Amino acid sequence: MEKIKIVIAGPRGRMGKEAVKLVNETEHFQLIAVIDHKNDGMNLSDLEGFSGIVAPIYSNLEECFNQNQADVLIDLTTPEVGMYHARTALNYGIRPVVGTTGFTKEDLQELNNLCEEKGLGCIIAPNFAIGAILMMKFSQMAAKYFQDVEIIELHHDQKLDAPSGTAVKTVQMISEVRDSKQQGHPQEKETIQGARGANIEGMHVHSVRLPGLIAHQQVMFGADGQTLTIRHDSYNRASFMSGVKVAVESVMKLNLFVYGLENILE
């Protein structure tokens, strides 16, 4: 079987390190280069923690793509950088698998259009953990029967974006089945701004940031005399890697834009 040639952007990050390990340990994957805004011209194997993992380091994405024939770009960086990387990859005929969160609706639309124009696949996955995908799907199922919902997402305190990509995706999935509803008391007033969290499509999203956490979300539904809580917890970043693997394998067979791993899992 021909190996899938992969470039990873953000290899020294918390997720990037796990992705390097995954690609390095997967027989039909080949790490051909990495994108890092530091260490340009060095080799990954020269850096602490990557002993024996040979891949040239580029700070310039175009230079990397001009010098290496990649199939897939895995991006695990920051929203602005990730958007630029995904757009550039598609322009080079390379399929992006993006775990980076914080993309806007306009960003997603732009990538969708670019995929159509180029006839290429691209996967944007706000959460790669299979359990998180199920948590979102179960929440979507529950929302058919419970209209009142609040989302509490909890992450480590080094996270840059709020609300989380998973929370935004959960709102989107629930709004596909939930009639619009103004929740809470019609005359409710925040005496301190932000007390009710973010309001996305009429659903309140509360973002908790604490050291000790990794990635967690609970979706709470309420109805007369009962509540239902659906919760998922990631306790380490290895929990995301089976999803990254599936996404890389799937994107090679795709010629369209996919937002959310639930769309490719069987």
Q: How far is CA 257 from CA 96, 114, 192, 202, in A?
A: 10, 9, 40, 27
Closest contact distance (angstroms) between CB of 42 and ligand LLHOTIJI is 26
Closest residue to ligand NAD, based on beta-carbon distance: 13
- Residue-wise DSSP of 131-151: HHHHHHHHHHHHHTT--EEEE
Q: What angle do CA 241, 237, 133 make, to 5 degrees?
A: 60
What is the C-alpha to C-alpha distance for residues 97 and 82, in angstroms, rounded to an integer? 10
Q: Are 47 and 34 in contact (CB under 8 A)?
A: no
Q: Are 231 and 151 in contact (CB under 8 A)?
A: no
Whether residue 105 lies in the annotated active site: no
What is the C-alpha to C-alpha distance for residues 45 and 55, in angstroms, rounded to an integer? 7
165 near ligand LLHOTIJI, judged by CB under 6 A: yes
170 near ligand LLHOTIJI, judged by CB under 6 A: no
**Residue among 165 and 197 whose Cβ is closer to ligand LLHOTIJI:** 165
Sites for ligand NAD among residues 55-94 (CB under 6 A)? 76-78, 81
100 near ligand NAD, judged by CB under 6 A: yes
Among 26, 77, 127, 139, binds ligand LLHOTIJI (CB under 6 A): 127
| Both structure tokens of 125 | 């996955």
Among 50, 65, 103, 128, binds ligand NAD (CB under 6 A): 128
Among 10, 126, 243, 260, binds ligand LLHOTIJI (CB under 6 A): 126
Task: Determine how many CB atoms are found less than 10 A away from the CB of residue 254.
Answer: 17
Whether residue 37 lies in the annotated active site: no
Q: Which stretch binds ligand LLHOTIJI (CB under 6 A): 89-97, 136-144, 162-170, 188-196?
A: 162-170
101 near ligand LLHOTIJI, judged by CB under 6 A: yes
Tell me the residue type at 19.
Answer: A
Residue in 85, 155, 204, 232 annotated catalytic: 155
Q: Count how many Cα atoms sit within 13 Å of the Cα of residue 16 in the half-sphere of its side chain.
A: 21
10 annotated as ligand-binding: yes
What is the C-alpha to C-alpha distance for residues 167 and 128, in angstroms, rounded to an integer? 13
Contact residues for ligand NAD, defined by CB under 6 A:
9-10, 12-16, 35-37, 76-78, 81, 99-102, 125-128, 161, 240
Contact residues for ligand LLHOTIJI, defined by CB under 6 A:
101, 126-127, 155, 159, 164-166, 215
